[in-house]
Chains A and B, each alone.
Chain A
Amino acid sequence: MNDQVPVVGEERPETCRAPDAEERSLWRRVMDQFADHCRSRSLFVLHYCTGCGAVELPPTITSRFDMERVGVSPMVTPRQADLLLITGYLSVKTLKRVILSYEQMQSPKYVLGFGSCTINGGMYWNSYATVKRLDQYIPVDGFIAGCMPRPEAVQQVILDLMRRIDSGQANAWRDYYLDYDTYLGRQAALFGEEWHTPTDVVAEARHYGYFGPGTTGVHTARLKNYTEWALNQIPELLPERGRNEKART
């Protein structure tokens, strides 16, 4: 059990990675496919209206277009949600909250970008307040072009995502673990060098088995200071940490 739970600040060998599909046993592969199949049919959408695209979500979910008939339903908390819809442009202030929400979601998690403004800025290409490319900051599984996308387009892209989850192709969330250093660097370039989140993404990467050479680097080295600092602030945590270390030895 202790091997599964990530411990803050713990050093692990960097060879920790998930076995490829070919290396897995037949039983494991069948179970994975079954899990993917089930997962694709019960998507919970995080209820976060980040931009104007959210005005087309009520029609999509309520009686007329009715996404619930394919198993898509809104969910109010990030931790229980599978799918994050970025409904339109993101101001810098919102992007921070989006990243916090995204990191709280459990993997596997999926992101869809609504509208032209998430692709390249759209009509706000020269606005000083909105970010231009969403996929520079979090990995994105699919985009819908247009301003604003119609409910049919939303349905289409969600059905497409379901098909890709079912066949095991919707793997953008792994990129966040594999290239966390790059993502963190881009986020910090926008939010300032002080930027860090409460989620220990590096430990999560180890936990899910997607700790790659790009997970840590110059930018994640900065996070150690905050971990050390935070641990020193709470004396009660320190004996806990010592016990963990003892258990390992």
Chain B
Amino acid sequence: MTQPKNLPSSLDIILHEIPGVRMTPKEGRRIRVDSSPDSLPALLELLKGRMGFMHLSAISCVDWPETDEFELIYHVWSYEQKSLVSAHVSISRDPGRFVSVYDIHTPAGFYERDIHEMFGVVFVGSPNLRKFILTSWDGPPPMLKSFDTLGYVNETYGWVDYQPDWLRDVEGKGGGIES
């Protein structure tokens, strides 16, 4: 089945039923939808039930410290319409709390767990938010923009600049790797 030409317009009809939703068709079977946080579960539910967007490809999280927001992007793919809807939601960084969509899309369980671990966002109703990757980590969530990786590495792993005597001699004569 090729992509129907009227997909954006039939999507439009659905999206009219939900308040606070804006649609932007993009190139190559991609459709961007901006949604308000409150209407996101309803949006995913309608997309899944009426248009067949049943494959949750990924949930991405982006940290925007300037506006003090986390942007969550739900990528859903339809095996019938052959197109991908990316639903964008912005939530406040403080307290960084959002509702889980696990009961609509089962794969969300892993992605929410991952985002919780890497960004510290709490998904209410998610079945399992235990640590998975960083089980012995006690620092701040590492994917936050405010996390200073180089400082952490220097402090934890004792990173030492390689400065042996022979290199100093070479540098004294005007050579070396820095020049």
Contact = CB atoms under 8 A, between A and B. Distances in A.
Direct contact of A and B (CB under 8 A): yes
A133 B147 CA distance: 23
Contacts of A63: none
A229 B147 CA distance: 39
Contact of A128 (B135, B149, B158): B149
A191 interface: yes
A132 B162 CA distance: 13
A126 B156 contact: no
Contacts of A128: 142, 147, 149, 152-153, 156
Interface string A180-200: 000000000011100000000
A241 to B, nearest CB: 33
B157 interface: yes
Nearest to A124: B153
A126 B135 contact: no
Contacts of A126: 149-150, 153
A158 interface: no
Contact of A190 (B152, B153, B156, B159): B156
Contacts of A136: 158
Interface string A58-73: 0000000000000000
Nearest to B148: A128
A132 B157 contact: yes
B153 A127 contact: yes
Contact of B135 (A93, A127, A192): A93
B159 to A, nearest CB: 6
Given A128-B142, A132-B159, A93 B153 contact: no
B67 interface: no
Contact of A92 (B136, B142, B147, B150): B136
A126 B135 CA distance: 20
27 contacts: A92-B136, A93-B135, A93-B136, A96-B136, A120-B162, A121-B157, A121-B159, A125-B153, A126-B149, A126-B150, A126-B153, A127-B149, A127-B153, A128-B142, A128-B147, A128-B149, A128-B152, A128-B153, A128-B156, A129-B134, A129-B142, A131-B157, A132-B153, A132-B158, A132-B159, A136-B158, A191-B136
Interface of A: 92-93, 96, 120-121, 125-129, 131-133, 136, 190-192
Top-3 shortest CB links A-B: A132-B157, A128-B152, A128-B149
